[in-house]
Protein backbone atom coordinates (compact mmCIF):
# COMPACT_ATOMS: atom_id res chain seq x y z
CA UNK A 1 0.00 0.00 0.00
CA UNK A 2 1.19 3.53 -0.76
CA UNK A 3 2.19 5.67 2.24
CA UNK A 4 1.11 9.19 3.15
CA UNK A 5 3.68 11.80 4.09
CA UNK A 6 2.60 14.24 6.79
CA UNK A 7 5.14 17.04 6.55
CA UNK A 8 5.16 20.12 8.77
CA UNK A 9 7.12 23.32 8.48
CA UNK A 10 7.92 23.30 12.20
CA UNK A 11 7.53 21.17 15.29
CA UNK A 12 5.21 23.94 16.51
CA UNK A 13 2.68 22.54 13.97
CA UNK A 14 2.71 19.08 15.53
CA UNK A 15 -0.24 19.48 17.90
CA UNK A 16 -2.49 20.90 15.18
CA UNK A 17 -1.63 17.97 12.92
CA UNK A 18 -2.50 15.25 15.44
CA UNK A 19 -5.92 14.82 13.78
CA UNK A 20 -4.27 13.72 10.55
CA UNK A 21 -2.29 11.03 12.35
CA UNK A 22 -5.37 9.85 14.24
CA UNK A 23 -7.47 9.58 11.08
CA UNK A 24 -4.81 7.73 9.09
CA UNK A 25 -4.19 5.38 12.00
CA UNK A 26 -7.93 4.65 12.27
CA UNK A 27 -8.01 3.90 8.54
CA UNK A 28 -4.89 1.73 8.72
CA UNK A 29 -3.03 3.92 6.23
CA UNK A 30 0.75 3.95 6.77
CA UNK A 31 2.23 7.41 7.21
CA UNK A 32 5.52 9.12 7.91
CA UNK A 33 5.77 12.35 9.92
CA UNK A 34 8.51 14.82 8.99
CA UNK A 35 9.57 18.39 9.79
CA UNK A 36 10.78 20.06 6.60
CA UNK A 37 10.65 23.78 5.93
CA UNK A 38 10.34 25.50 2.56
CA UNK A 39 12.36 28.38 3.99
CA UNK A 40 14.64 26.94 6.67
CA UNK A 41 15.52 23.67 4.91
CA UNK A 42 14.70 24.39 1.24
CA UNK A 43 17.09 21.78 -0.18
CA UNK A 44 15.58 19.05 1.99
CA UNK A 45 12.11 20.13 0.82
CA UNK A 46 13.05 19.84 -2.86
CA UNK A 47 14.84 16.54 -2.30
CA UNK A 48 11.90 15.07 -0.36
CA UNK A 49 9.38 15.98 -3.06
CA UNK A 50 11.60 14.69 -5.87
CA UNK A 51 12.12 11.31 -4.22
CA UNK A 52 8.66 10.85 -2.65
CA UNK A 53 7.10 8.76 -5.43
CA UNK A 54 10.12 6.46 -5.55
CA UNK A 55 10.00 6.12 -1.76
CA UNK A 56 6.47 4.69 -1.95
CA UNK A 57 4.41 7.74 -1.06
CA UNK A 58 1.04 8.25 -2.75
CA UNK A 59 0.03 11.61 -1.29
CA UNK A 60 1.92 14.39 0.50
CA UNK A 61 0.17 16.39 3.21
CA UNK A 62 2.01 19.67 3.76
CA UNK A 63 1.20 21.78 6.82
CA UNK A 64 2.68 25.22 7.26
CA UNK A 65 1.89 28.54 8.89
CA UNK A 66 2.63 32.22 8.31
CA UNK A 67 3.98 32.81 4.75
CA UNK A 68 3.22 29.16 4.04
CA UNK A 69 5.07 27.94 0.96
CA UNK A 70 5.69 24.31 1.87
CA UNK A 71 2.79 22.77 -0.09
CA UNK A 72 3.63 24.83 -3.17
CA UNK A 73 7.33 24.01 -2.90
CA UNK A 74 6.44 20.31 -2.86
CA UNK A 75 3.98 20.65 -5.75
CA UNK A 76 6.73 22.28 -7.80
CA UNK A 77 8.88 19.17 -7.42
CA UNK A 78 6.50 16.21 -7.67
CA UNK A 79 3.52 14.91 -9.60
CA UNK A 80 2.09 13.30 -6.46
CA UNK A 81 -1.08 14.96 -5.16
CA UNK A 82 -0.23 17.54 -2.50
CA UNK A 83 -2.76 18.45 0.18
CA UNK A 84 -2.01 21.76 1.89
CA UNK A 85 -3.01 22.50 5.47
CA UNK A 86 -2.73 26.17 6.47
CA UNK A 87 -1.70 26.45 10.12
CA UNK A 88 -3.27 28.95 12.52
CA UNK A 89 0.15 29.77 13.90
CA UNK A 90 0.39 33.51 13.36
CA UNK A 91 -0.96 36.81 14.61
CA UNK A 92 -3.24 36.69 11.56
CA UNK A 93 -4.95 33.51 12.81
CA UNK A 94 -3.87 31.48 9.78
CA UNK A 95 -5.46 33.67 7.13
CA UNK A 96 -1.98 34.46 5.81
CA UNK A 97 -1.18 30.75 5.57
CA UNK A 98 -4.53 30.00 3.94
CA UNK A 99 -3.93 32.52 1.18
CA UNK A 100 -0.30 31.47 0.68
CA UNK A 101 -1.33 27.83 0.39
CA UNK A 102 -4.50 28.10 -1.66
CA UNK A 103 -3.50 30.72 -4.24
CA UNK A 104 -1.34 28.49 -6.41
CA UNK A 105 -0.73 29.57 -10.01
CA UNK A 106 -2.46 27.61 -12.76
CA UNK A 107 -0.54 24.47 -13.63
CA UNK A 108 0.63 23.78 -10.06
CA UNK A 109 -2.29 22.40 -8.04
CA UNK A 110 -2.41 22.12 -4.26
CA UNK A 111 -5.61 20.76 -2.69
CA UNK A 112 -6.01 23.15 0.22
CA UNK A 113 -8.16 22.26 3.21
CA UNK A 114 -9.38 24.55 6.00
CA UNK A 115 -7.11 26.34 8.47
CA UNK A 116 -5.92 23.62 10.87
CA UNK A 117 -7.93 21.12 8.77
CA UNK A 118 -5.66 18.19 9.58
CA UNK A 119 -8.38 15.54 9.74
CA UNK A 120 -9.85 16.47 6.38
CA UNK A 121 -6.37 16.46 4.84
CA UNK A 122 -5.91 12.88 6.01
CA UNK A 123 -9.35 11.81 4.83
CA UNK A 124 -8.75 13.36 1.43
CA UNK A 125 -5.39 11.60 1.21
CA UNK A 126 -7.05 8.29 2.13
CA UNK A 127 -9.79 8.84 -0.46
CA UNK A 128 -7.13 9.39 -3.12
CA UNK A 129 -5.34 6.16 -2.15
CA UNK A 130 -8.67 4.30 -1.97
CA UNK A 131 -9.21 4.82 -5.71
CA UNK A 132 -6.90 1.87 -6.23
CA UNK A 133 -7.53 0.06 -2.93
CA UNK A 134 -10.98 -1.45 -2.42
CA UNK A 135 -10.32 -2.49 1.20
CA UNK A 136 -9.40 1.08 2.12
CA UNK A 137 -12.55 2.33 0.38
CA UNK A 138 -14.56 -0.01 2.62
CA UNK A 139 -12.79 1.29 5.72
CA UNK A 140 -13.58 4.84 4.60
CA UNK A 141 -17.24 3.90 4.16
CA UNK A 142 -17.30 2.40 7.66
CA UNK A 143 -15.60 5.53 9.07
CA UNK A 144 -18.31 7.68 7.52
CA UNK A 145 -21.12 5.43 8.76
CA UNK A 146 -19.69 5.59 12.29
CA UNK A 147 -19.52 9.38 12.03
CA UNK A 148 -23.16 9.54 10.92
CA UNK A 149 -24.19 7.27 13.80
CA UNK A 150 -22.37 9.51 16.29
CA UNK A 151 -24.25 12.60 15.08
CA UNK A 152 -27.61 10.80 15.10
CA UNK A 153 -26.92 9.65 18.64
CA UNK A 154 -26.05 13.22 19.71
CA UNK A 155 -29.31 14.41 18.14
CA UNK A 156 -31.29 11.81 20.11
CA UNK A 157 -29.53 12.69 23.37
CA UNK A 158 -29.67 16.51 23.02
CA UNK A 159 -33.25 16.44 21.80
CA UNK A 160 -34.28 14.32 24.77
CA UNK A 161 -32.43 16.50 27.27
CA UNK A 162 -33.25 19.99 25.99
CA UNK A 163 -36.58 19.86 24.17
CA UNK A 164 -39.59 21.11 26.11
CA UNK A 165 -42.57 19.73 24.24
C1 LIG B 1 6.10 27.89 9.44
O2 LIG B 1 6.20 28.94 10.33
C3 LIG B 1 5.75 26.68 10.26
O4 LIG B 1 4.97 25.81 9.51
C5 LIG B 1 5.01 27.23 11.45
O6 LIG B 1 3.62 27.11 11.30
C7 LIG B 1 5.40 28.71 11.45
C8 LIG B 1 6.13 29.11 12.70
O9 LIG B 1 7.25 28.27 12.89
P10 LIG B 1 8.10 28.35 14.23
O11 LIG B 1 8.69 29.71 14.27
O12 LIG B 1 7.15 28.09 15.37
O13 LIG B 1 9.13 27.25 14.12
O14 LIG B 1 7.27 27.68 8.74
Tell me the domain boundaries of the chain: 3-133
pLDDT, tens only, 82-125: 999 999 999 999 999 999 999 999 999 999 999 999 999 999 99
Interaxial angle between packed helices 134-162 and 118-130, expressed in degrees from 0 to 180 and rounded to the nearest 10: 140
- Could you confirm whether domain 3-133 is CATH 3.30.450.80? no
User: Partners of 132 in the beta sheet?
Assistant: none
Give 132: exposed, middle or buried? Use CB within 10 Å, 0-12, 13-18, 19+: exposed
Residue 44, pLDDT score: 98
Which residue out of 74, 89, 90 has the highest number of ligand 1 atoms within 8 Å of its CB and is therefore the one to mutate? 89
Residue 116, pLDDT score: 98
Tell me how far the alpha carbon of residue 139 lies from the centroid of ligand 1, in angstroms: 33
Backbone φ and ψ for 43, nearest 5 degrees, come out as: -70, -40
pLDDT, tens only, 29-77: 999 999 999 999 999 999 999 999 999 999 999 999 999 999 999 999 9
Q: pTM score, two decimals? A: 0.97
Atom of ligand 1 nearest to the CA of 97: 6
Residue 157, pLDDT score: 98
Tell me how far the alpha carbon of residue 124 lies from the centroid of ligand 1, in angstroms: 24
SS (H, E, C) 136-152: HHHHHHHHHHHHHHHHH
Residue 33, pLDDT score: 98
Tell me how far the alpha carbon of residue 108 lies from the centroid of ligand 1, in angstroms: 23
Q: Whose CA is nearest to atom 12 of ligand 1?
A: 12
Query: To which H or E segment does residue 84 belong?
Result: strand 82-87
For residues 152 and 144, is the Cβ–Cβ distance under 8 A?
no
Measure the N-to-C terminal CA separation of the chain; round to a whole number of Å.
Answer: 53
Amino acid sequence: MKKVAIVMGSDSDLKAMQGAMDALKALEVPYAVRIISAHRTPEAAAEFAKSAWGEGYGVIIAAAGKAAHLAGAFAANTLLPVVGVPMKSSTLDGLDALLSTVQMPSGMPVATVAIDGATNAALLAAQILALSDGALMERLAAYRTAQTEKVLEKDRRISEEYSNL
